């Protein structure tokens, strides 16, 4: 595993790329998988042509008035398809990696941006800038400021109030099985002179490099995979997920105990959700209470993939070309197929509108194609 301090080599957006690009397209569920939820009535409305090169895996962030797209990778249309059992490496970055543009849904217009937003992890919109654990980017001026911490960070950075919060490992604070101590560090984004404030978690080093994070009100919910028996001694097991809550305003940790659920966390609108993969390839979604770490009964979606959560708490589950959304009554409905079969586009909530753009797909001859088409879903009624 390559270790890059302060950076997460990955991506409000879920990046699902086809074979031969930076991230692998999720495996389709087996033939025995559920037929899926009912289709929701509505249609996809085309966006105006984007001033960007075609590509898959672009990052996307909703600023409240615009959707900003940047980065990603174009696959070679003449490349041989990746064998089904192979792990194909990512192609070298092309000119598309340095491009950025913003789409305004009110005026239905695009504008090219100068500079490039951060690309060391899933970025977020906070205090007028696009931020991740490495830097902050102003889409108005095109300027960036760097704020790398000295931690080894893989988990998503979170924004809580004025603070950017990262959770990673500090090897100067002790090790177990070659893994450093877990530390949360917060940075006041509203103070240009602010420094990182690191706080060690209240347990021994976990012995494993596995952390998940999710913003929850004034706190960050943290789930740490541990192989150190001292961390898992509550249940007398050798490995476990340990849940804690970190409050950046006070620099305090609250231990929530051992969690048996292997959830993949996502958050938005002050709520925390988790996905659980079933044996049949489908995905179930449960809500996590950040106060005590308890998990509600998981609700099957009838589909598969990863969550895209809006800032208001709207949920979409994206698995390659298939998108299902949670309705107001808590049921899941499947959206009509995105026109043109873009493969695995970038998906982002723009308020309550779901926007897809770009994508790379393996289609046979030529072996692959890239898209720069964009669409927004319009529900019927």
Task: Give the domain CATH number at 226.
Answer: 2.130.10.10
* Nearest C-alpha neighbor of 298 from the set 312, 280, 315, 283: 283
Number of structural domains in the chain: 1
Predicted local confidence at residue 92, as pLDDT: 57
**Torsion angle of C-alpha atoms 261, 158, 196, 172, degrees rounded to 10:** 30
Q: Is the pLDDT of residue 344 over 60?
A: yes
Give CA–CA dist 360/372, Å, rounded. 9
Determine the length of the chain. 381
Residue 29 maps to a domain? no
Give the 3-state DSSP-derived string for the chain, with helices as H, strands as E and coil as C. CCCCECCCCCCCCECCCCCCCCCCCCCCCCCCCCCCCCECCEEEEECCCCCCCCCECCEEEECCCCEEEECCECCCCCCCCCCCCCCCCCCCCCHHHHCEEEEECCCCEEEECCCCCCCCCCCEEECCEEECCCEEECCCCCCEEECCCCCECCCCCEEECCEEEEEEEEEEEEEECCEEEEEEEEEECCCCCCCCEEEECCCCCCCCCCEEEEEECCEEEEEEEECCCCCCCCCCCCCEEEEEEEECCCCEEEEEEEECCCCEEEEECCEEEEEEECCCCCEEEEEECCCCCCECCCEECCCCCEEEECCCCCEEEEECCEEEEECCCCCEEECCCCCCCCCCCEEEEECCEEEEEEEEEECCCCCEEEEEEEEEEEECC
What whole-number percentage of the chain has pLDDT above 90?
47
Compute the distance between CA of residue 374 and CA of residue 109 in angstroms, rounded to an integer.
12
Say if 25 falls within a structural domain: no
Tokens of 238: 């050798």
Which residue reads 């493969």 in tokens?
343
Higher pLDDT, 86 or 7: 86
The residue with greater pLDDT, 15 or 68, is 68
C-alpha–C-alpha distance, residues 226 and 200, integer Å: 15
CA distance 165 to 68: 22
The confidence score (pLDDT) of residue 180 equals 85
d(CA 121, CA 78): 29
Residue 86: pLDDT band with limits 50, 70, 90? low
Work out the number of other CB atoms within 10 angstroms of the CB of residue 203.
Answer: 19
Q: What per-residue confidence (pLDDT) applies to 127? A: 95
Q: Is residue 237 domain-resident?
A: yes
What pLDDT does residue 123 have? 92
- Per-residue model confidence (pLDDT) at position 83: 60
Neighbours of 178 (CB within 10 A): 9
Q: Is the pLDDT of residue 185 over 90?
A: yes
Provide, rounded to the nearest whole percent, the portion of the chain with pLDDT above 70. Answer: 80
Tell me, what's the pLDDT at 82?
61
* 34 phi-psi bin (left φ>0, alpha ψ -120 to 50, beta other): beta
What is the mean pLDDT of the segment spanning 214-233? 90
Domain of residue 348: give its range. 42-379
- Mean pLDDT (whole number) for 162-179: 86
Four-CA torsion 62, 65, 71, 77, nearest 10 degrees = 100
Q: Kindly state whether residue 19 falls inside one of the protein's structural domains.
A: no
- Tokens 């595993």 locate to 1
Query: Is the pTM of the predicted complex or chain greater than 0.85?
Result: no
Specify burial of residue 156 (Cβ count, 10 A radius: 0-12, 13-18, 19+). buried
Q: Alpha carbon of 160 to those of 197, 246, 267: distances in Å?
A: 14, 10, 12
- Do the domain assignments include residue 171? yes
What pLDDT score was predicted for residue 179?
A: 79
Q: Say if 27 falls within a structural domain.
A: no
pLDDT of residue 9: 36
Band (pLDDT 50/70/90 cuts) for residue 316 is: very high
pLDDT for 236: 60
pLDDT at 152 over 90: no
Q: Which residue has the higher pLDDT, 112 or 23?
A: 112
pLDDT mean over 190-204: 94
**Amino acid 355: pLDDT:** 96
pLDDT for the residue 145 = 93
Cα–Cα separations (whole angstroms), residue 101 to 18, 196, 358: 22, 31, 13
The answer to whether position 18 is within a domain reads no
Q: Return the C-alpha torsion angle 307, 27, 210, 229, nearest 10.
A: 120
Maximum mean pLDDT: which of 165-174, 188-197, 297-306: 188-197
Tell me whether residue 102 is exposed, middle or buried, using C-beta atoms within 10 angstroms of its C-beta: 0 to 12, 13 to 18, 19 or more.
buried
What average pLDDT score do residues 46-58 get?
A: 93
- 347: β partners: 14, 356
Query: pLDDT tens, 268-285?
Result: 988 999 998 877 778 899
Query: Which range, 67-76, 246-255, 295-304, is most confident?
Result: 246-255
5: pLDDT confidence band, cut at 50, 70 and 90? very low
Residue 194 lies in a domain: yes
At residue 7, the pLDDT reads 40
């Amino acid at each position: 595993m390559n270790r890059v301090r302060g950076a997460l080599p990955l991506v409000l957006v879920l990046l699902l790329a086809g074979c031969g690009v930076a991230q692998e397209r999720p495996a389709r569920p087996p033939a025995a998988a559920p037929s899926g939820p009912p289709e929701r009535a509505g249609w996809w409305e085309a966006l105006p042509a984007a001033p960007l090169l075609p590509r898959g895996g672009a990052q996307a962030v909703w600023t409240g008035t615009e959707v900003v797209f940047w980065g990603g990778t174009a696959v070679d249309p003449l490349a041989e398809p990746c064998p089904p059992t192979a792990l194909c490496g990512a192609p070298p970055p092309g000119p598309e990696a340095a491009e950025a543009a913003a789409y305004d849904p009110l005026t239905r217009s695009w504008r090219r941006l100068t500079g490039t937003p951060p690309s060391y992890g899933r970025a977020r919109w906070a205090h007028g800038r696009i931020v991740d654990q490495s830097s902050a980017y102003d889409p108005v001026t095109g300027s960036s400021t760097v704020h790398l911490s000295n931690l080894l960070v893989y988990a998503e950075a979170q924004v809580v109030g004025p603070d950017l919060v990262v959770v990673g490992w500090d090897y100067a604070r002790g090790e177990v099985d070659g893994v450093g101590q877990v530390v949360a560090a917060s940075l006041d984004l509203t103070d240009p002179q602010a420094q990182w404030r690191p706080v060690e978690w209240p347990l021994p080093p976990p012995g494993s490099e596995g952390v998940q994070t999710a913003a929850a009100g004034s706190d960050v919910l943290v789930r740490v995979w541990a192989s150190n028996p001292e961390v898992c001694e509550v249940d007398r097991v050798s490995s476990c997920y340990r849940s804690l809550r970190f409050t950046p305003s006070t620099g305090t940790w609250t231990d929530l105990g051992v969690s048996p659920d292997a959830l993949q966390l996502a958050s938005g609108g002050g709520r925390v959700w988790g996905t659980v993969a079933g044996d049949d390839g489908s995905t179930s979604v449960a809500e996590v209470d950040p106060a005590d770490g308890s998990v509600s009964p998981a609700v099957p979606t009838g589909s598969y993939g990863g969550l895209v959560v809006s800032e208001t708490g709207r949920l979409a589950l994206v698995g390659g070309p298939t998108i299902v959304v949670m309705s107001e009554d808590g049921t899941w409905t499947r959206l009509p197929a995105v026109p043109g079969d873009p493969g695995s586009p970038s998906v982002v909530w723009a308020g309550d509108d779901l926007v897809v753009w770009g994508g790379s797909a393996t289609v046979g001859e030529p072996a692959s194609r890239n898209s720069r088409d964009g669409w927004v879903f319009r529900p019927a009624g």
